[in-house]
Amino acid sequence: MRDVYIIGAGETRYGELWERSLRELAVEAGLRAIENAGVYSRDVEILYGSNSLAGIINGQENIGSLISDFAGIAHNNIPAVRVEASSASGGAALREAYLAIKSGEYDLIMVGGVEKMTDIYGNELLNMMGSILDREWESFFGATPAAMAAIVARKYMKDFNVEKEALSMMSINDHENASKNPMAQYKNKLTLKQAMGATNVAEPLTLMDCSPITDGASAILLASDRYMKKNKLEGAMVLGSGISQDYFAVHNRESIYTLNSAKIAAREALKKAGKKLDDISLVELHDSYSIYGLLELEDLGFAEKGKAKHLVYEDIKAGGRIPVNTSGGLKAKGYPLGAVGISQAVEAYEQVMGKAGQRQLKSVDSVLLHNMAGTGSTSVVHVIGGE
């Protein structure tokens, strides 16, 4: 089977981009990725587009075809499809492309993720965000993603004697790293006083525990080792990929604060990569709410259950033992649902290739990416590294 590499990456700025359309964002990221890779668009053999909410927010389906058309490659008549797995769409699209090259079917694939969320607001947006939950058993009764995260947080904090400060430290770390990322939605640093004193959203979660509404797009180019050698290119290798599923509704799970899907997906990805947790130089987490950052650190294997609180003060910093979210994470870089998994891959590529600018870590062996849907019903894990 072939080896798979990320040979180019591009993304837009993240934020409330009122003046930009869905298609404009997608095309900008795609063209930047092609330019960054130094390849010809005519060599791209298939396009995977990841998106979560365009159908209900923007009234636009068939995202793959849309991106292909407005990127100027429709005349190449290549396949262009959308991959959807809620907020794990990006990771799922990356995995599909990875497997397609592994199988020998393709040599060069574009994977792009895009979300345009600010076309609606208020209760209408809140209702549509509820679609990432179980509509019949959760959002129908008034539950929101923030409310579900708060329920998990309250139970977790009570059972393991975790103070609210530990959750706030996850957000503080994200903002510190985002201050060095020119593409981040929020570049301001965050103090503990600001984080702890912010407006309550769903107790114990404050506004500073919650990721923002975000517009933005990311794109990467995946290539086979054969294409790389033929064209004398360099890239970051996709060493392993894993995906798993848990119960959709939180109440059906054995433990509401255990992300079984993350455990299984990480185990699969690390095994395929031939890596151990000690080999991981950076972790990009899906911390849509700060509580999930702690749970992921535990269920990915970096801490025992209830013990992640000991990592959040020093270990997760850029210079710490387990650097987390050098991109700025979902809290500060932004949370464009369907683009998250590709955004994470862009950060991994830049770190491995030494192109992360002020965010660059001193030594990067492998990067672990965790992208999940909603409250953890789906998890996709990738390990990216050098050859």
Tens digit of each residue's pLDDT (9 = 90 or more) over 220-257: 999 999 999 999 999 999 999 999 999 999 999 999 99
* DSSP letters spanning 220-285: EEEEEHHHHHHHT---EEEEEEEEEE--SSGGGSS-TT--HHHHHHHHHHHHHHT--GGGEEEEE-
Report the pLDDT value the prediction gives residue 171, as an integer from 0 to 100: 99
CA–CA separation, 52 and 1 (whole Å): 31
Domain ranges of the chain: 4-121+214-236, 122-210+238-385
CA–CA separation, 73 and 252 (whole Å): 45
Q: What percent of the chain has pLDDT over 70?
A: 100
Instruction: Please state the pTM of the whole predicted model.
Output: 0.97
**Rounded to 5 degrees, what are φ and ψ at 187?**
-105, 5
Q: For 115-145, how does the pLDDT look when each residue is reduced to its tens digit (9 = 90+)?
A: 999 998 888 888 888 888 999 999 999 899 9
Instruction: For domain 4-121+214-236, say whether CATH 3.40.50.1400 is its number.
Output: no
4-121+214-236 shares its CATH topology with 122-210+238-385: yes
Q: What percent of the chain has pLDDT over 90?
A: 91
E strands, 116-263, where?
Answer: 200-202, 205-206, 216-224, 236-245
Report the pLDDT value the prediction gives residue 125, as an integer from 0 to 100: 83
- Report residue 101 as tokens: 């090259």
Architecture label for domain 122-210+238-385: 3-Layer(aba) Sandwich (3.40)
